[in-house]
Amino acid sequence: MDERQHRIVFAGGGTGGHLFPALAVADELRQRPDVSIEFVGARRGVEARLVPEAGYPLRLLRLSGLKGRGAIGRIGAIVAAILAVCRCLGWWLSSRPDLVIGVGGYASGPAVLAARILRVRTMVMEQNHYPGATNRALAPRVDRVCVPSEAALRRLSGRCVVTGNPVRAEFLAIGDPPGDKRLSLLVFGGSRGARSINRAMMDALPRLARMEPAPKIVHQCGVDDAPEVETAYRGYPGPAEVRPFLPDMPERLAVADLVVCRAGASTLSELAAAGRPAILVPYPHAADDHQRHNAEAVQETGAAIVILDRELNGERLADGVSRLGGDPERRRAMARAARTLAMPDAARKIAGVALELLGRERVNGGESVNDVS
């Protein structure tokens, strides 16, 4: 067997939802002495900071999105994407990779397309149950696509493998919800908070205060809304903690009975790994409305209930919390359903797919494969 060094490039990022699963797989592959890894990303993405911190080489492209831009902005974004393809072609010609893995985000498309032009092996990691436009376009053109669920499998053509989404080991170690008489509620809307969730929670507090006993609430609200949210909680009769940001999410999930949050792919994977029931409020401006599709796929399993952002208010949110708070058996059923969505060895499976494409080993297990050209 050829023992030469195999060079793998992860392309994409932009958000933690794209980047963190990629880093988990990269860490899995880094354990092999015959594999070297680097990343390609966008200058404005989170990868510009987090990839070097993780110890990986990083090349950056100047890229921007098309949505929400005027005609001149869209033309500029298209030109930047074409230039990015050309730059990747130059990189791959001077230092040819053995495999390019698109992980979503602005840099994914140009890097994978350049690899295809040069007949370099390619694969895609899709995090969402409802795949985004870039990966829907790339899927039939790459050698393999790793998807989180059967729902995603049905929505893509190409050689797809159900692998799940990688999450940190801390989430997989979380036990059952506390299940005390006092409901423990965790509320968050991403690292910068979510204004609609913050406002709905502030409006819901008087109703939640009438629950017996009033729930214990931990609320991550973001920096901008923190003063207003902190003021709203004054006088709330139950234990409450308001924080702009929660750096210790595994520990917070471990002591939560119920979660109110957005429906990003990484968040949903963490909820599944932890086995936590949720009230999901999809971010309405996500690309291709993928958060709504993600949330509805989870709701179909019985692991969550969905409230659309346009329908969210204090009364609706308080009603959902109080109903689930007063029904511990339903929460337990939702927690069990959430765990059925978890795939604790997702990083290993995706790494195995990559190594198979390199001819290093075969994929283990009986994953579903959709081979539709």
pLDDT tens digits, one per residue of 303-320: 999 999 999 999 999 999
Higher pLDDT, 67 or 372: 67
Regarding the domain with residue range 6-165+345-372, which homologous superfamily does it belong to in the CATH classification?
Answer: Glycogen Phosphorylase B; (3.40.50.2000)
The mean per-residue pLDDT over the stretch 339-354 comes to 92
| pLDDT above 70 (res 3) | no
Supply the mean pLDDT for the chain: 89
| pLDDT above 60 (res 60) | yes
- Distance from C-alpha of 29 to C-alpha of 357, rounded to nearest angstrom: 13
Higher pLDDT, 366 or 343: 343
Q: Does domain 171-340 have CATH number 3.40.50.2000?
A: yes
125-139 pLDDT tens trace? 998 877 877 788 889
22-51 pLDDT tens trace? 999 999 999 999 999 999 999 888 899 889
| pLDDT above 50 (res 363) | no
- For residue 314, the model assigns a pLDDT of 97
199-245 pLDDT tens trace? 999 999 999 999 999 999 999 999 899 999 999 999 999 999 999 98
Residue boundaries of the structural domains of the chain: 6-165+345-372, 171-340
The mean per-residue pLDDT over the stretch 62-88 comes to 79
- For residue 68, the model assigns a pLDDT of 58
Of the CA atoms within 13 Å of residue 31, those in its CB half-sphere come to 10
| pLDDT above 60 (res 155) | yes
- For residue 358, the model assigns a pLDDT of 93
In percent, how much of the chain has pLDDT > 70?
92
Answer whether 6-165+345-372 and 171-340 agree in fold: yes
